[in-house]
Amino acid sequence: MNRLEFYINDILSGACKPNNQPKLIKENASTALVDADNTLGAVASHFAMDIAIKKAKETGVGWVTVKGSNHNGMAGFWAKKASDKGLIGMAFTNTSPLLAPTRSKKAALGTNPISVVAPGSNGETLYVDMATTAVAVGKIEIQRRKGEPIPSGWAQGPDGKETTDANLAFDTGCLMPLGGQEQTSGYKGYGLAAIVELFCGISSGSKYGHHIRSWSHSGDGGPANLGHCFVAVDPESFEPGFGDRLAESMDHWRHLEPTDPNLPVLAPGDKERAAAKVCDESGTVAYLQQQLVTSEALAKKLKVTPMKVL
């Protein structure tokens, strides 16, 4: 929802060509390079992960990079696509520069998310999807919509100093790396973002890091030419019992004694599953009021029926 207007404006400006089709331009038994041909990121990502899954089923691993793409939503969605087939799925993407490397006043890398999703026994799924910045920029947008400050360690102001002002953080566009400041190991988040860039833009030949355009509501700046990376691995290639060991580990983590009795220890993915369950049981999705207002305005602009609000 936060990105829908961006998608529409990129299409209207011609920066994105939604009717184009991705193309396989290079491959061997376990790897491939895909040219998205500037189509929607979701279209290119389905195409590329399907190739990775096929190769993993045949050789044990599939590693596919994509160039010439656009924003592709949640990295975890693509990793789960492989997990649903019994594979370990991994998904990475670069983004417009938003991360300020440790000691820098300027952004030079994207939020560059990492996702790993793996299937365990008894219906268990390890689900990790995280930005390599301290927080995804969408969370700062939400704080702006609420009119509330952001926590310390999320973002910098134009002077390179930490700020808790959500509007200043959004306008400056310099998120801190995962870990925050240097003394709290923010350089680790910086390193992880650099690894994602290695897998995505630098490997695929798309734009990378500081060469990627800023993304705005106007749709200016021409094609995004983002890079993605999708990996599928067959756990059956290794020691038998993978699913059992994963499920046992997750169960053990949940039963660790919590520091706060009211906040039990969660396994990666538990929070997301709980949120999904609430949506499934209610039959609807909850949005902030300002998101609904923005969505209704966009529907009027496009002359389509707005979402039904309950």
Q: DSSP for 132-194, please give it.
A: SBSS-HHHHHHHHHHT-PPPTTSEE-TTSSEE--HHHHHHHT-BPBTT-SGGGTHHHHHHHHH
pLDDT score for 271: 95
Write down the domain spans for the chain.
Answer: 4-134+175-237
* Averaged pLDDT score across all residues of the chain: 95
DSSP 121: G
pLDDT range class, residue 141, cuts 50, 70, 90: confident
Cβ atoms < 10 Å from Cβ of 241: 11
Q: At residue 40, what are phi and psi to the nearest 5 degrees?
A: -60, 140
The helix/strand/coil state of 53 is helix
pLDDT digit string (tens) for 167-208? 999 999 999 999 999 999 999 999 999 999 999 999 999 999
Confidence of residue 137 (pLDDT cuts 50, 70, 90): confident
Q: Length of the chain in residues, anyone?
A: 310
- Residue 13, pLDDT score: 92
Decide if domain 4-134+175-237 falls under CATH 2.40.160.10: no
* 130 has pLDDT over 70: yes
pLDDT band at 219 (very low <50, low <70, confident <90, very high): low
Mean pLDDT value across residues 81-95: 98
Say what the pLDDT of residue 64 is.
99
- The predicted-structure confidence for 251-288, as pLDDT tens digits, reads as follows 999 999 999 999 999 999 999 999 999 999 999 998 88
The reported pLDDT for the residue numbered 291 is 84
Task: Report whether pLDDT(217) > 90.
Answer: no
Of the ranges 48-57, 132-141, 273-282, which is most confident?
48-57
Residue listed under structure tokens 């969370």 = 139
What is the value of pTM for the model shown? 0.94
